Amino acid sequence: MVDEKALIHKQENILFVCSTILSVISVIILFVTIIGIPILFGLAAATLMSHAVSMAFIRMNGIQLSEKQFADLYQRVVTLSGKFGISQIPEVYIVESGGILNAFASRIFGLFGRNIVVLYSDIVELIESEHEDELEFVIAHELAHVKRNHMVKRFLTFLAMWVPFLGEAYSRACEFTADRMASAYTEKPEKAVRALTVLATGKYLFPRVNKDEYLNQYNDKKGFFITFTELLSTHPAIPRRIFEIESYAGKTSVAIKRKPKLSVMIIVAATLLATALVIWSTYTIIKDTISFTGELFTAGELTELMDAVINDDQTEMVRLLEEGTDPNEQEQEYGSTALIVAADNDLLEAAQILLENGADPNLSDFYGNTPLMGAVFMENKEMVHILLEAGADPTITNEDGMSPISQAQDFGYDELVELMGKGK
């Protein structure tokens, strides 16, 4: 009886928890920002669509294993799935690889579809050279990913994969786990080692590789860029994978001397730094959002008279003015007046009521814009006329140096230019 818990790499679960926490925090950050929501959904939609298209291409062009297609190989998949306790047999396809030796497990439509295993044709050709056991390990490795639900977990931790070193470290831990499980369930660790050697030298030369010398070669390679490259790799170095399998099987001939302490320290430091940055960003964004939201509700609020003007509620306007409301009261954000609001919105009758009750036609907002400028912008000849009759000055300039009459000239409103020229 295989103890699956003992096969799980010691770093896999902790790295999954860290990645999940960071991904959740990242989603929260995106949701509390206005622009983050479309970015999140756009990224998810693009990723899902790209993945769905690539899976559809494989299913459309690849050769699917079945009882009538590569029956012996398909039976190995069925038998291994039974050993792993996988109730729903994944779809398995062979695709032409152009010489690439590889295989991978995936999931159609991310969280919601069924599992799929893709075998590159060059790796399947090991059958032709009577190395079925090596191929069986490759298949078992991919089924281990299915068993551990690694595809779904990587989908859930997608945003954390952008954190330097963390995403790669989690991926490497998953690969170690899949190697151990495949070796245990095929019960042929020596074949597992040979299968990994195939990835290093190809399907013809691997029987001639001196495995011990290969591991010693790995021990001899040191330096910053060697370590840095390992930390940025989604798959462990092949010699380390061989060593891990042999260690689990108790058949180690050459020990890997390079200790992972530096790697662990860098991963932990990068994770802590990323977590600190994410928390700080979350705090900053939430604080700014609350501040901005508060400003929306406190600054620039319309006065009661302006509300009545906007709603074109003339009865309410008259009531407020009769009760003593100042017709020239300015709101705090931009300094607009009720008359400016009426002119900007083509509310002629409201403007007349305001002017009759003492509204100043030359009172500008904080940027120097007057009611007459709003009337010109709206090309409202009647509004311009009543403002001029009330004493509006067409030569007053705003902070941009523009006056109502110069604005009319720029817009080509000749009638308004003539009307204001007469009113000067």
Same domain, 314 and 363: yes
- Total structural domains in the chain? 2
- What is the per-residue pLDDT across 172-193, written as a single tens digit (0 to 9) for each? 999 999 999 999 999 989 999 9
What is the Cα gyration radius of the chain?
36
pLDDT of residue 209: 93
Same domain, 258 and 362: no
Is residue 297 in a domain? no
Same domain, 46 and 184: yes
Is residue 344 in a domain? yes
Same domain, 210 and 355: no
Same domain, 243 and 345: no
Q: Which helix (H) or strand (E) holds 273?
A: helix 261-298
The residue out of 254, 288, 322 marking a domain boundary is 288
CATH code for the domain in which residue 405 is found: 1.25.40.20
**Average pLDDT for the chain:** 85
CB-CB contact of 169 with 133 (8 Å)? no
Q: Which of 117, 71, 114, 77 is nearest to 94 (CA)?
A: 117
Is residue 399 in a domain? yes
Same domain, 85 and 184: yes
Is residue 164 in a domain? yes
Same domain, 123 and 234: yes
Same domain, 221 and 253: yes
pLDDT of 396 strictly over 70:
yes
**Banded model confidence at residue 121, pLDDT cuts 50, 70, 90:** very high
Same domain, 68 and 154: yes
pLDDT of 423 strictly over 60:
no
pLDDT of residue 261: 52
Mean local confidence (pLDDT), 45-74: 90
Is residue 281 in a domain? yes
**Banded model confidence at residue 160, pLDDT cuts 50, 70, 90:** confident
| Interacting residues of 50 by C-beta distance below 8 A, sequence separation 6+ | none
Share of the chain above pLDDT 90, in %: 51
Same domain, 157 and 107: yes
Largest Cα–Cα separation, the chain? 105
pLDDT of residue 44: 75
The CA-based dihedral angle spanning residues 30, 31, 32, 34, taken in that order and rounded to the nearest 10 degrees: 80
Higher pLDDT, 300 or 101: 101
pLDDT of residue 291: 45
Q: Which of 303, 316, 306 is nearest to 340 (CA)?
A: 306
Share of the chain above pLDDT 70, in %: 86
- What is the per-residue pLDDT across 264-322, written as a single tens digit (0 to 9) for each? 555 556 666 666 665 666 555 555 544 444 443 333 567 889 989 988 899 999 999 99
Higher pLDDT, 420 or 35: 420
Is residue 293 in a domain? no
| 345: its two tokens | 């919105």
Is residue 88 in a domain? yes
pLDDT of 161 strictly over 90:
no
pLDDT of residue 334: 85
CB-CB contact of 154 with 178 (8 Å)? no
pLDDT of residue 296: 38
Same domain, 38 and 152: yes
Higher pLDDT, 299 or 249: 249
- Entry field: residues in the chain: 424
Q: Classify residue 202 by its DSSP letter.
A: -
Is residue 65 in a domain? yes
Q: Per mean pLDDT, which range of 107-121, 289-303, 387-401 is the poorest?
A: 289-303
CB-CB contact of 34 with 211 (8 Å)? no
Q: Classify residue 208 by its DSSP letter.
A: G
pLDDT of residue 195: 94
pLDDT of residue 222: 77
Q: Look up the pTM and report it.
A: 0.62
Q: Which helix (H) or strand (E) holds 6?
A: helix 4-7
pLDDT of 220 strictly over 80:
yes
pLDDT of 241 strictly over 70:
yes
First to last CA, the chain: 101
Same domain, 206 and 262: yes
The residue out of 288, 314, 337 marking a domain boundary is 288
Query: Which residue range forms the structural domain that includes residue 223?
Result: 4-288
Distance, C-alpha 36 to centroid of its chain: 9
pLDDT of residue 295: 40
The residue out of 263, 288, 313 marking a domain boundary is 288
Q: Per mean pLDDT, which range of 4-13, 32-41, 48-57, 131-140 is the poorest?
A: 32-41
